[in-house]
Amino acid sequence: MTFSRRTFLAQAGSLSILVSFGAVAQTPPAPVQNPSAWVTVGVDNIIRIVSPASEMGQGSRTALALILAEDLDADWANVRIIDAPVIPKIYGNAALFDTMRTVGSRTVQGYYQQLRIIGAQMRHILLMAAAARWNVPVAELSTEPSVVVHAKSGKRLSYGALARSLKVPGTLPVITPADLKPLSDCRYIGHDVQRVDVPSKTDGSAQYGIDVQLPDMLHAVVLRAPVEGEKPVSIDDADARAIKGVRKIVELPYGVGIIADNHWAAQKAKLALRVTWSDAAKARAYDSTGVSAAYTEVARDKAAVHIKMVDKGDALAANASAAKVLTAEFTSDHVAHSCMEPLNATIIHHGDHAEAWLSNQSPQIMQYLCANALGLALDKVTIHSTLLGGGFGRRTDGPEIIDAALLAKEMPGRPVKVLWDREDDIRADAFRPLSAQRVEIGLDANNNITGWWHRLVCASVYARIEPETFERYKGRDPVSAGGGTFPYAVPAQSVEWVRDERGKSVGAWRGVAASYMKLPIETLMDEIAGLRGADPVEYRLSLLDKEPRAAAVIRAVAEMADWAKPRKGRALGFAYSDALSSHVAMVTEVSLDQKSGKIKVHHIWAVIDAGVAVQPGNIVAQMEGSILFGLGAALHEQINIHKGEVREANFDSYRVTQMADVPAIDVKIIPTAFPPSGVGEAGVAPVAPAIANAVARLTGGRRLRHLPFTPERARGALA
């Protein structure tokens, strides 16, 4: 990059920090494509803060700017937020190997301290400038929102006034975490501030990828192979070419693309194509029921090659000498992401460079995929990121940008917009891994745990989408297999993962591995409590003497739900999760129609300790959203695959949570001074085990162990 004389790059510890001051227009400029700083103080007193995170309804766009504005002591009314260019060296997330991705609920925790330090450094530079102008010690100065104040003389200067003649020092002032504003003094952190994306979403002016309209734009769709890994062998496109508005039909490595003057002409031509597909893909043999059974057999095989995900003592040896061993097996089906906005991308290929517009969770990955598909250098591809109509891990893969790049290459100079229909969005999804699990718990004569052995079998997400990270982790996959941790005090714990690939790609899904691995952990904790004749909540607390944060959320949710109070015709179920480094305790109130097997969730209480609560109201909103996400996966959502073909295609066959399914939800936050941890996915994992534990209380101990808990499966458990 080329920097102006008023911009400098300085080193502060391990942080590379860019600062910019200078004149700007009195009115907000058009979206900046290549900003050269984290923050710009304009002479109009407008403060522009760069956001490196994607906004998909989780509030990151607001939270990151607010964090920087806090220690800058900026007037929030004058803050404007602009998107970061794809420069991972500057805008990369420290919690994600300095890459530009919005995943894993790591955005706030990855940028929190860095942005606070940047804000504090900016404020100190402004204080130094005012001190020099007034010839007073910096120590005599203070700030109010966007104003430097000298109390002794009564002098005041706005940040904008200082920006007119500011001389930036050669090196940044050294700021340590100890120099940051105490949380008790914060005006933004810990307080509710309206999210900046809400007004445009409310009045309809918000721009998602699906909304992109460019002059002279063409529209495209892709007919995809019915089985992953297959390709066209012969294409009869005579009828498709005859449709008015069709411009070009393109054979792709994985399907057939249609480019037309409008979407409906392209869609009509897609339906008119007659394609013969290859039949050699590994996924041809994929049957979800059969794979589930095969995975269960692998989970039983102690000799199966595996990776240790948790290794705290020899659990199998402990079990061998136990008085008895409690054994249970669990399975979970594939589930889809089902984002409200289907995948889409718009690209102009100019020959020697390209521009792309799309909703995405990683502009860095999108830039790489587009450049690779077009044979361009990375710096020849500009990514324009829009708002996302849902992400949940789906918008890191980028199949849509590959579609658009390959088809835009056929129409140089013309924008080509690819839009997936709902059927493609579901059938060609990279689903949450189908899994099988086996747990063997050694117990002594008094039903104290002596060993906990946990085996998971599933395909890998990281091995496919991030092979370098997979290698860095030495074959460990925290997305597919990282949910087996817990804080309970047990003498020996071992969690093993067997990677088993059967030809069907899997992807990151909200809550990742914890969304299915907490089910065995939390239901078996209830089962052991029953063997001991103990209350499930009290039993967990007895194992958490050295885990005060976990114990605090558990006690708080038990009080919220009035845990000890009997419910007529209903039962309460409890579960705890430490996923995403957050502590979440949950209670569900459930009824069961034993004739039909239908489970009804009437009320959910949840308590979360996610460290510093940057935006409390937004944490509540994200917990509510993730709880509903977990509810759908617990009760309804399932993808069935037969001979490699996905049976579900739209919301008529893929059942998601509906308004009538939504229970009352109460969320409480326990704010602490610990660093912020994950929020956006935190409510998913404990939902299913809390429901299963409530059902067990209703049925005298009948256990649900196959996700989702459909009526048929509930009836089977009752039988």
Whether residue 476 is found in the same domain as residue 579? yes
* Listed residue (22, 57, 45, 26) closest to 386, CA to CA: 57
Final residue of a structural domain among 196, 224, 242: 196
In a domain, 202, yes or no: no
| pLDDT at position 590 | 98
For 535-573, how does the pLDDT look when each residue is reduced to its tens digit (9 = 90+)? Answer: 999 999 999 999 999 999 999 999 999 999 999 999 999
| CB 397, CB 430: distance < 8 Å | yes
Q: Is the pLDDT of residue 32 over 90?
A: no
Q: Is the pLDDT of residue 368 over 50?
A: yes
Whether residue 585 is found in the same domain as residue 698? yes
| pLDDT at position 209 | 98
Question: Tokens at residue 676, please?
Answer: 């912020």
Pairing of strands 218-224, 141-144: unpaired
CA distances (Å), origin 150, targets 140, 180, 461: 6, 21, 56
Q: 254: domain CATH number?
A: 3.30.365.10
Mean pLDDT score, 284-303: 98
Scanning the structure block, which residue is given the tokens 């009035």?
562
Mean pLDDT score, 209-218: 98
Whether residue 295 is found in the same domain as residue 246? no
Exposed (0-12), middle (13-18) or buried (19+): which is 260, by Cβ within 10 Å?
buried
Whether residue 45 is found in the same domain as residue 179? yes
Task: Report the percentage of the chain scoring pLDDT > 90.
Answer: 92
Pairing of strands 246-252, 232-236: unpaired
What letters, b where the CB count within 10 A reaches 16 and e where it falls short, cover 533-566? eebbbebbbebbeebebbbbbbbbbbebbebeee
| pLDDT at position 171 | 82
Scanning the structure block, which residue is given the tokens 């957050």?
582
In a domain, 204, yes or no: no
CA dist., res. 50 & res. 118, Å (int): 12
| pLDDT at position 25 | 35
For 42-62, how does the pLDDT look when each residue is reduced to its tens digit (9 = 90+)? Answer: 999 999 999 999 999 999 999
| CB 694, CB 589: distance < 8 Å | yes
Whether residue 327 is found in the same domain as residue 442? yes
Cα dihedral sign for 313, 315, 320, 325? positive
664 phi/psi in degrees, rounded to 5: -65, 135
Whether residue 690 is found in the same domain as residue 633? yes
In a domain, 424, yes or no: no
| pLDDT at position 469 | 86
In a domain, 544, yes or no: yes
The helices-and-strands tally (H runs, E runs) of the chain is 21, 29
In a domain, 101, yes or no: yes
CA dist., res. 163 & res. 159, Å (int): 6
**Confidence category of residue 37, pLDDT binned at 50, 70, 90:** confident
How crowded is residue 190: how many other Cβ atoms within 10 Å of its Cβ? 15
CA dist., res. 709 & res. 637, Å (int): 9
Whether residue 476 is found in the same domain as residue 395? no
Whether residue 183 is found in the same domain as residue 292? no
Mean pLDDT score, 500-511: 98
Mean pLDDT score, 505-512: 98
**Confidence category of residue 240, pLDDT binned at 50, 70, 90:** very high
What letters, b where the CB count within 10 A reaches 16 and e where it falls short, cover 216-255? eebbbbbbbbebbbbbbeebebeebeebebbbebbebebb
Q: Is the pLDDT of residue 212 over 60?
A: yes
Overall number of domains in the chain: 3
CA dist., res. 444 & res. 435, Å (int): 30
Whether residue 594 is found in the same domain as residue 673? yes
CA dist., res. 672 & res. 582, Å (int): 11
Element (H, E) at 221: strand 218-224
Final residue of a structural domain among 395, 419, 443: 419
For 310-347, how does the pLDDT look when each residue is reduced to its tens digit (9 = 90+)? Answer: 999 999 999 999 999 999 999 999 999 999 999 999 99
| pLDDT at position 31 | 34
Scanning the structure block, which residue is given the tokens 């000298």?
150
Label residue 229 left, alpha or beta by phi (over 0 means left) and psi (-120 to 50 means alpha).
Answer: left
Mean pLDDT score, 28-34: 33
First to last CA, the chain: 68
The mean predicted confidence, pLDDT, of the chain is 94
CA distances (Å), origin 558, targets 132, 276, 564, 611: 58, 59, 8, 20
Q: Is the pLDDT of residue 717 over 60?
A: yes
In a domain, 203, yes or no: no
| CB 391, CB 89: distance < 8 Å | no
Mean pLDDT score, 418-431: 98
Question: How does DSSP classify residue 656?
Answer: -
Whether residue 267 is found in the same domain as residue 174? no
Question: Tokens at residue 531, please?
Answer: 């063997």
CA dist., res. 483 & res. 471, Å (int): 19
On the CB side of 707, how many CA atoms lie within 13 Å of its CA? 32
Final residue of a structural domain among 156, 172, 196: 196
Range of the domain at 303: 288-334+431-718
Q: Is the pLDDT of residue 177 over 80?
A: yes
**Confidence category of residue 466, pLDDT binned at 50, 70, 90:** confident
Q: Is the pLDDT of residue 24 over 80?
A: no
| pLDDT at position 411 | 98
CA dist., res. 708 & res. 637, Å (int): 6
In a domain, 447, yes or no: yes
Sheet of strand 141-144, all strands in order from the earlier edge strand to the far edge: 141-144, 147-150, 155-158
Q: Is the pLDDT of residue 505 over 80?
A: yes
For 64-68, 97-101, 142-146, which range has the lowest pLDDT when averaged over its residues? Answer: 97-101
* Listed residue (430, 623, 401, 398) closest to 508, CA to CA: 430
Mean pLDDT score, 709-715: 97
| pLDDT at position 197 | 95
Label residue 211 left, alpha or beta by phi (over 0 means left) and psi (-120 to 50 means alpha).
Answer: alpha
* Listed residue (349, 344, 386) closest to 370, CA to CA: 349
| pLDDT at position 27 | 37
Whether residue 624 is found in the same domain as residue 659? yes
In a domain, 643, yes or no: yes
Mean pLDDT score, 424-433: 98
For 665-708, how does the pLDDT look when each residue is reduced to its tens digit (9 = 90+)? Answer: 999 999 999 999 999 999 999 999 999 999 999 999 999 999 99
337 phi/psi in degrees, rounded to 5: -80, -35
| pLDDT at position 14 | 29
Whether residue 538 is found in the same domain as residue 680? yes
Q: Is the pLDDT of residue 165 over 90?
A: no
Scanning the structure block, which residue is given the tokens 């909200």?
510
